[in-house]
Structure 1
Amino acid sequence: MIAALRSVFLAGAVMAFAGAAQSEATHSILEFKDLDGWSDDDHGAALNVFLNTCRDFDDPDWTTLCAVAESEGPDNPRAFFELFFRPVLIENGEKALFTGYFEPELDGSRYPSGRFQYPLYKMPPEAKEQNPWLPRRDILSSGVMENRGLEIAWVDDPVELFFLQIQGSGRIKLPDGGSLRVGYGGTNGHPYRSIGVELVRRGIYDAHQVSAQVIRNWVRRNPAEGQELLYHNPSYVFFREVRRVAAEHGPLGAMNRSVTAHRSIAVDPAFTPLGAPVWVEKDGADPIRRLMIAQDTGSAIKGAQRADIFFGTGHDAGLAAGRLRDPGRMVVLLPIQRAYALLPDEF
């Protein structure tokens, strides 16, 4: 699980590459035959995900290809990608790293009870006006949030609520069998501090031992110390209820569209434009060779060869995402003219 918040960005604001980051990057145009496993992928599945967000593009290079994809791409999706794109390997001197993220699912209620005692809050007006606002400890212990009608729901586990804030979105399963979905609604403005790193600093675990599940177990075994450990992270995330996304669809990504399990990734938009197809070659355990779409971002996703793979919703998705930390390579598919424009003038 990444130590990041799912930030919300307008697609148009991040389609252009950041100049400073691009000046540090190198770009190599590859052939599709250079992509390991390219011919074996389900290009139609990737095209469907591409169409989910390409309609929101406002850049002419992309809007033209989106129109073509809608009218002609479904007949031969692999040919569509090979005809109108070029694979571009973007590097900035850092090794590739793939991690995973997911949509948590918590048990909760719209009303407090003996079981459901831990509220998810909407952002109070003063937190919008003052940056930074109160740290986590003061928000939870000073009573500043009480009796103001800011609660969206109550859950039964403060540790799961803490990790829900790290992911930034999730689902709350209600006692009547229904559910509600929450999304990122803002932050108190304090920087995120990793409690996993803090456990290592205290000598409780070695770095290779720390995972989300290890942290959960330690906090539950040590309730008083565990609460203090959670306070070590002063950052606090507020939520909003998301009503317009159908239950069968994934949570909203940075392009304000649903992300798709095993086909959507979070990237660094300083190097990879949101909405772009990205060929993923993840090595390590359970290698992945798949065309995915860059539809999300996160504060821990930094670098040209850095991606976070969306694994879906619920417990099993969380376990799979939490185990992922593998090397490999990612290759961005760019419109032909955009790809060649990145090469040095002497090309």
Structure 2
Amino acid sequence: MKRGFLALCGAVIVATLAGCASRSLPPPDAAPPASPPQTRPETLPPLTGSLNHPKSRWVPVNWTELPGFGDDALHEAWIALVANCARPNAAFAPLCGEVRQLALADADGQRGWMMQRLQPYRVESLAGQSEGKLTSYFEPIYDATRRPTATNTIAVYQPPAGLAPRRAWYTRQEIDTLPEAQAALRGREIAWMSDPIDVLMLQIQGSGRLRITEPDGSRRVVRLAFAGSNEQPYRSVNQWLLSQGVTRINPWPDATKDWVAQNPQRLPQLLWSNPRYVFFREETMNEVDAAFGPRGAQGVPLTAGRSIAVDRESIPYGTPVWLASTGPVAQLQKLVVAQDTGSAIVGAVRADYFAGTGPDAGRLASRMDQSLRLWALWPRQLAAP
């Protein structure tokens, strides 16, 4: 298994480097020492002064404040850091040459480099609150057909003509009921699915994979990537169910499907409780694509267990982050990278944890709702982001 993992890492790193070669990136720094010195955290005092963002304040701290920093399997996180260097933020870009060269270094070498080159900052709200909430999302996999069938009657759509950012389009209810909305979507169908809750889940997650049966009977797996929304507000279906007196809403979506089976006449009400509607574009996948998740808002592929969605007014895309979360679902103390966002991910100490692809990731994501602390890791040579 270890040889297989290293082979996958090698393929991912080679593919990422190839992708980077086609972009205009800053030249890498000089190569780091072959064996980075093992710096003790207490020998590097924190920089003085907090850094302010529109929705957060970053307070400099010693590395010793980061829970579990000495125990993380950093080689897993390094895949996300290398992917990050395909589209780094301006502060992290000068470090990308060193990051790539350390991709196959041991954990001590990677940890020593982090302590030399990065400064940890505790992320707080502007009011000084350092504890927030962690949820999770995933990339679902569903069966679909290219054309409608007797069972597959619900379309997944490309964006309609005229859809524009920050301009409201029809609500979910209007899309389902107004002839003019339906006319605008005619011919924009990507594929057809059978379960309306699965389609809703696909839209809530913002991406997914479809095992599509083509008209000739052949099957292939494609990725659906986020391509736009109707710019209506997101409303939680779980919260709507709670308002209806439902007490068992997890595991989502199984409990929701059970409720729909018992209340089929109320399915439209449930769906329309969330006016937000998401449109997709179809992407083909090769072997390397399949090893990663979908591209996040930063524009790089997400890494299972190592990518998070954040409020970009609190943490810029491409920022390495130390994450600590304690709860009934998981005990997490690990390095992640801020590479995505979401309409429900708002606030200073708020993150959505990318759990991966498929049913197991979905089960974890559906249950995750627990406390969170975050530390942004910013290049030491910079005074401000």
Give the TM-score, by structure 1 length. Answer: 0.84
Query: Counterpart of 1:153?
Result: 191
Q: SS in structure 1 opposite 2:176? A: helix
State percent identity of aligned pairs: 34
| 1:41 and 2:69 aligned | no
Q: Secondary structure at the match of 2:258?
A: helix
CA, structure 1 residues 238+209, in 2 after alignment: closer, same or farther (shift >3 Å)?
closer
Q: Is the 8 A contact 2:310 2:342 kept in 1?
A: yes
Contact 1:184 1:238 in 2 (8 A): yes
Moved beyond 4 Å, runs of 4+: 208-211
Kindly report the root-mean-square deviation, in angstroms, between the aligned alpha carbons of the 2 structures. Answer: 2.5
Aligned-partner residue type, residue 235 of structure 2:
R
* Cα separation, partners in 2 of 1:135 and 1:303, compared to 1, 3 Å: closer
Q: Higher RCO, 1 or 2 (CA under 8 Å, sep at least 6)?
A: 1
2:230 aligned partner, one-letter code: N
Equivalent-residue separation in structure 2 for 1:130 and 1:291 (angstroms)? 33
SS in 2 for 1:280: strand
1:165 match: secondary structure? helix
Q: Does 2:117 correspond to 1:84?
A: yes
Which residue of structure 2 lines up, in the alignment, with residue 306 of structure 1?
Answer: 350
Shift of 1:71: 3.3
Taking structure 1 as reference, are residues 272 and 229 closer, same or farther at Cα in structure 2, changes over 3 Å only? same
2:85 to 35, 54, 63: 54
TM-score (norm 2): 0.76
User: Structure 1: any 5+ residue segments left out of the alignment?
Assistant: 1-19, 343-347
1:212 correspondence with 2:246: no
Is the partner of 1:219 in helix, strand or coil? Answer: helix
CA–CA separation in structure 1 for the residues paired with 2:198 and 2:143? 10
Q: In the alignment, which residue of structure 1 is the partner of 2:335?
A: 291
Contact 1:73 1:80 in 2 (8 A): no
Structure 1 CA distance for aligned equivalents of residues 55 and 333 of structure 2: 27
Cα offsets for 1:189-227 (capped at 9, x unmatched): 22222222222223x225x85663333321232122012
Q: Is the 8 A contact 2:118 2:378 kept in 1?
A: yes
Which of these residues, 127, 142, 147, is aligned with residue 178 of structure 2? Answer: 142
1:151-190 alignment to 2 at 5 Å?
151-175=189-213, 176-190=218-232
Bigger radius of gyration: 2
Query: Contact (CA 8 Å) 1:44, 1:78: kept in 2 or not?
Result: no
Aligned position for 1:192: 234
Show structure 2 runs of 5+ residues with no match.
1-50
Aligned twin of 1:255: 298
Other-structure match for 1:16: none
Aligned-partner residue type, residue 182 of structure 2: M
**Structure 2 residue 368 is matched with structure 1 residue 324:** yes
Name 2:97's counterpart in structure 1: 67
Which of 208, 215, 238 aligns to 2:279? It is: 238
Equivalent of 2:57 in 26, 31, 35: 26
Matched residue pairs, number?
320
